[in-house]
Amino acid sequence: MDSETRQAQILEHARTRGRVEVIAMADELGVATETIRRDLRVLADRRLVKRTHGGAIPLESATFESGIEYRSRVDLAQKRRIAAAAAELLHGAETVYIDEGYSPRLVAEKLADKELTVVTSSLLAAEALADSDSVTVMLLGGRMRGRTLATVGEWNASVLRGLTIDLAFLGTNAVSVEDGLTTPDPAVAAIKGEAVRRSRRRVLIAAHSKFGISSFCRFADVADFETIVTGTELDKDEAERYHALGPVVVRV
């Protein structure tokens, strides 16, 4: 098997299963572990994967974005900790925006017993709040993205432009000191950016694997956020780099 074919298989494995383990991949392909490490270095240089201890995880791009099934499996324990900590940051907010994605859906679960009006483009978040007697849900209409079960489009943006929201819980596909918050899809970036502009306070919820990478479309600066909630898996020194830009960084 030539290196190009092998690297394509490794990338497909990463995108399908959420990560690549060097030893397991070497056994599966019948090659040396150093060959897999070399392939991962090539894929990392192309910004297709991010190296981790013992392997790599796929990076999202203009041509690849993970779906809800994938997101609901990866870093799940960390995402649950993040959601619980983020939900404690209401501080009197009465109107809340909840972003698309699996981590925001977990935040929605934690808010089901609060007296709130929740605005969201996420069918998952709306479902999590469907049985609540105390939360009023405003579900934004528009074109549904099957990959994330969320709506996008001008209908969403036009409604958001007419609102003033106390607090927005936002996720991201990628965040870096250099490029801010980015996402692969321009339509998603437009909605996220509008939510940033129309909210008085903004909380970023992001697992450690989202940091230090960039995607296609920028929708916010790190400094736009009051607080970043992430896991203790994010290196403390790396967290300090983001804190230096303005937000409080909470590692849980």
Q: Tell me: the pLDDT tens digits for 29-48?
A: 999 999 999 999 999 998 88
Percent of the chain with pLDDT over 90: 83
pTM: 0.84
pLDDT at 63 over 90: no
Give buried/exposed letters for 139-172 (b at 16+ CB in 10 A, else e). Answer: bbebeebeebbbbbbeebbebbeebebbbbbbbb
Q: Mean pLDDT over residues 53-79, rounded?
A: 78
| Model pLDDT for residues 105-116, shown as the tens digit of each residue | 999 999 999 999
Model confidence band, residue 70 (pLDDT cutoffs 50, 70, 90): low
Q: Decide if pLDDT at 133 tops 70.
A: yes
Residue 61 tokens read as: 């791009």
Structure tokens at 238: 């790396």
Q: Is the pLDDT of residue 68 over 80?
A: no
Q: Where in the chain is the domain with CATH 1.10.10.10?
A: 3-58
Residue 218 pLDDT more than 70?
A: yes
Q: Is the pLDDT of residue 10 over 80?
A: yes
Give the chain's radius of gyration (CA, Å).
Answer: 19
Higher pLDDT, 61 or 80: 80
Give pLDDT, residue 73: 65
Residue 61 has pLDDT above 80, yes or no: no
As a whole number, mean pLDDT of residues 183-207 equals 96
Q: Which residues contact 28 (CB under 8 A, 6 or more apart)?
A: 13
CATH 3.20.20.140 fits 68-251, yes or no: no
Amino acid at 45: D
What CATH architecture does domain 3-58 belong to? Orthogonal Bundle (1.10)
Q: What is the pLDDT confidence band of residue 16, given thresholds at 50, 70 and 90?
A: confident
Of 65, 169, 175, nearest to 120 by C-alpha is 169
Q: Kindly state the average pLDDT of the residues 221-240.
A: 97
